[in-house]
Amino acid sequence: MSERVKVKVEHNVQRLPAIALRGLVVFPNNVVHFEVGRAKSIAAVEWAMANNSQIFLVTQREMDTEEPATEDLYRYGVVAEVKQLLRVSDELVKILVEGKHRARLVGLEQGETMLMASIKDAPVRGLRSGRGVEAEAVVRSLKAGFERYLTLNPRMPKDVVYNILTNSSPEFLSEYMAANLLFKYQDKQAVLDESTLLGRLQVTLELLGRENQVLELEKEIQDKVNDQMEKNQRDYYLREQMRAIATELDEDDDVRFEAERYLEQINSLELPEEAREKLVKEAERFARMQASGQEAAVIRTYLDTCLGLPWGQYTQDDLDIGRAAALLDREHYGLKKVKDRILELLAVRKLSPEVKGQIICLVGPPGVGKTSIARSIAACMNRRYARMSLGGVRDEAEIRGHRRTYIGAMPGKIISAVNTAKSMNPLLLLDEIDKLASDFRGDPAAALLEALDPEQNKTFKDHYLDIPFDLSQVLFITTANDLSTVPAPLLDRMDVIELPSYTRVEKYNIAKRHLLPKQLRNNGLAGKVNLTQGALYGLIDGYTREAGVRGLERAITDVLRKCARQIAAGETEKVTVTAAGLEKLLGPRRIKPDFHNRTNAVGITNGLAWTSVGGELLPIEVQAVPGGTGKIELTGSLGDVMKESAKLAVTYARVHAAAYGIDPACLKSCDLHIHAPEGAVPKDGPSAGVTLTTALISCLSGMPVRADVAMTGEITLHGNVLPIGGLKEKSMAAYREGIKTVLIPQGNLSDLYEVDEEVKKAIRFVPVNELDEVLHQALLWPKALEKPQGKKAAAAAVPLGQRGVQPAPQAVRQ
């Protein structure tokens, strides 16, 4: 008996070529056209057309499966007849098929050319009971649901609508509706898999009801969006639609999850109690907001900024004095005072770790290494380094941050620098603190007062954060070129260290040890170019004139570029640059000799001036014009203070005319012209008083001024010499110009401690208290007036009137 059954089963099995469909389900009595691209599928279609035109169509479970096996296919498919075949190309065929009857997949053979499926017919059961009451009820429900579907989706083809509404056959509707409505292919396959008519109708009714719910929800969302839109807000349409969708899908869970993550992060950080309470409150506010709301985005940014700060993260200071000294000596030549101050700072921190952070201000001309020394300090102490430039900052909010009420608010530069360093105790360099400006938006210098005060910065409050942040462990280093523009309260909080101009020898050593090796590496010339000692000194003397070494580095780079061109062109393999070869590479010397008294001239005196880029020689010229009315002419862009010094000098000359051989009556009959060369450069300050008086006495008396003497000092109406500032820079200028003697006020004698040893060896500094001491040192006295005792020598003076008011020769050599 079992054998007969077996034979019967085998006779019911049919073998047909098969096509595995992707994303498509074909029903019986359904005409469908689709494209076939797989080689096995094309072969199956061609075989069917060549034989009985029948083929088995079955849907695969996953669309991306390229070589489907039996387990990759659904169990039920449709035996179809190929009505039409159109070959588009060798790899693409379009076919038109008509579904005939339902079949079940029994087995699948992977042939070399095509898939062969073993199938059994699987007719739908319960067709006779399809005329019952239950079937009629389901059909009515289907038609009612379809009418609702049409109101929500009126774009259905008219023939589909007509066929469904005019036909009441359960068999027809169970297949036609599933085939033509916009269901997912998995849902259509669920209808095909159902083996009973009532089951099919119920599955179709369930799918239609769910589709209606989705369409109703879409319509409700659309209505909500339309209600919230106004005529002038159409550009917000997409955002409002997304918000409505998020509301319906209950995306608030994502916001609550994100808020919980913020709270966990807050509890895990080492925060002050005030900061913790503030951030917890903001996180709880965030949990109650819409994810797509603008306020939620502001709070999210605020929390991310606050929690991204390095709370409780410190680096361990390296306080090895020997290592620090070696590193500083390796990276920087000279700067002994600066290095000593840094080593003292490390020593104090080593003995007293609880010491509060000091604020150091490095002051000096451009190019002397202020920024690089700050970076070296960070390396010595093993601290992270961050730099913030203050040049041109004129908005207080750039220092203390913007309040969150403003659009685009952000933290200030200090908090941003700490965040960049990722440490609570970094070294922060406040570069160009003397370049701060102020306007109607506030005074940034005043905003720095709290941050740079060791007694207050433990609870520094940035306007954006609005919570206390500890800056007491931060080592602040500021740089400036001119302290005169730094407000006094801010300057009071800083320990000032002055970086002097470099001497000629220092520039040579810096170029040899640091600048030249660096530029040789940068230009790919290591071992190929050599600059002799004479060449480096030639660059220093003839092609650069500065307090620092930036211009020297540019000059070295210029020379190396010329050498690189020769080597790259194959003209030579190695180049040695000497002093004599500089003009061939760079052209004539760029530094022209400055105008000053070089030949013991009458009426020309070498003064000294301070500028923000170092010291300068300031010559003063005086000429007496006979036949005048005693008028005084001042030229050379002189400031008010300097003009007043000139008036003091004239008064002194009139009062003490006899002591220096000047006829007082002739002072009334000649005009005096006082001039400071380089007239386009503004000049001011009281320190040119002695220079003006010496030039005036020289002109009126005819006594030449020594060319190897320079001087500086403020004068009083009675001839006293008062102290001045900037002696270190002024002495460097005298050293650079080859001056042998410098007259300084007695009150500046202690300032010589700051002057470089090389300068003190080359220059004789003469302290003076009164103007007559200056004049006796600076003037070349004739024998008739040789070394008189100040004002007591008036009787021995030769009056100017007896010499006929004739100007003395302009140059008298010793």
| Marked catalytic residue, from 423, 687, 701, 731 | 687
Half-sphere exposure of 459 (CA within 13 A, CB side): 6
Find out whether 727 and 748 touch, Cβ atoms under 8 Å. Answer: yes
Distant-in-sequence, close-in-space partners of 414: CB < 8 Å, separation ≥ 6: 388, 399, 400, 428, 451, 460, 462, 471
Domain edges within the chain? 14-121, 129-211, 252-307, 321-498, 507-586, 604-803
Confidence (pLDDT) at 9? 38
| Marked catalytic residue, from 40, 188, 370, 730 | 730
Q: Can you name the residues that pair with 764 across neighbouring β-strands?
A: 741
Q: Which two tokens stand for residue 696?
A: 């005036």
Name the CATH code of domain 14-121 (choices 3.40.50.12280, 2.30.130.40, 3.40.1450.10, 3.30.56.10).
Answer: 2.30.130.40
Q: Cα dihedral sign for 562, 564, 567, 573?
A: positive
* pTM (2 d.p.): 0.59
Q: Can you name the residues that pair with 31 across neighbouring β-strands?
A: 98
Residues in the chain with pLDDT < 50? 1-10, 787-814
The predicted-structure confidence for 401-418, as pLDDT tens digits, reads as follows 888 888 888 888 888 999
Confidence (pLDDT) at 705? 92
Considering the chain, what is the average pLDDT of its residues?
A: 82
Confidence (pLDDT) at 716? 92
Q: Where does 129-211 sit in CATH, by number?
A: 1.20.58
Find out whether 480 and 368 touch, Cβ atoms under 8 Å. Answer: no
Confidence (pLDDT) at 814? 25
Confidence (pLDDT) at 292? 67
Query: In angstroms, what CA-CA distances link 693 with 578, 642, 783, 789?
Result: 45, 12, 22, 18
Find out whether 103 and 74 touch, Cβ atoms under 8 Å. Answer: no
Confidence (pLDDT) at 791? 40
Confidence (pLDDT) at 478? 92
Q: How far apart (Å, rounded) are the C-alpha atoms in residues 200 and 218?
A: 27
What's the CATH fold of domain 507-586?
A: Helicase, Ruva Protein; domain 3 (1.10.8)
Strands 385-389 and 427-431: parallel
Confidence (pLDDT) at 799? 35
Find out whether 483 and 434 touch, Cβ atoms under 8 Å. Answer: yes
Q: How far apart (Å, rounded) are the C-alpha atoms in residues 678 and 661?
A: 31
Q: Is 730 a catalytic residue?
A: yes
Query: In angstroms, what CA-CA distances link 425 with 417, 468, 588, 718, 744?
Result: 11, 16, 51, 56, 45
Q: Which two tokens stand for residue 56?
A: 């088995």
Confidence (pLDDT) at 235? 55
Q: How far apart (Å, rounded) are the C-alpha atoms in residues 335 and 790?
A: 43
What's the CATH fold of domain 604-803?
A: Ribosomal Protein S5; domain 2 (3.30.230)
Q: Is 687 a catalytic residue?
A: yes
Distant-in-sequence, close-in-space partners of 562: CB < 8 Å, separation ≥ 6: 585, 586
Q: Where does 321-498 sit in CATH, by number?
A: 3.40.50.300
Q: How far apart (Å, rounded) are the C-alpha atoms in residues 555 and 551?
A: 6
Q: Residue 668: is it exposed, middle or buried by C-beta count within 10 angstroms (0-12/13-18/19+)?
A: exposed
Distant-in-sequence, close-in-space partners of 462: CB < 8 Å, separation ≥ 6: 400, 401, 411, 412, 414, 415, 469
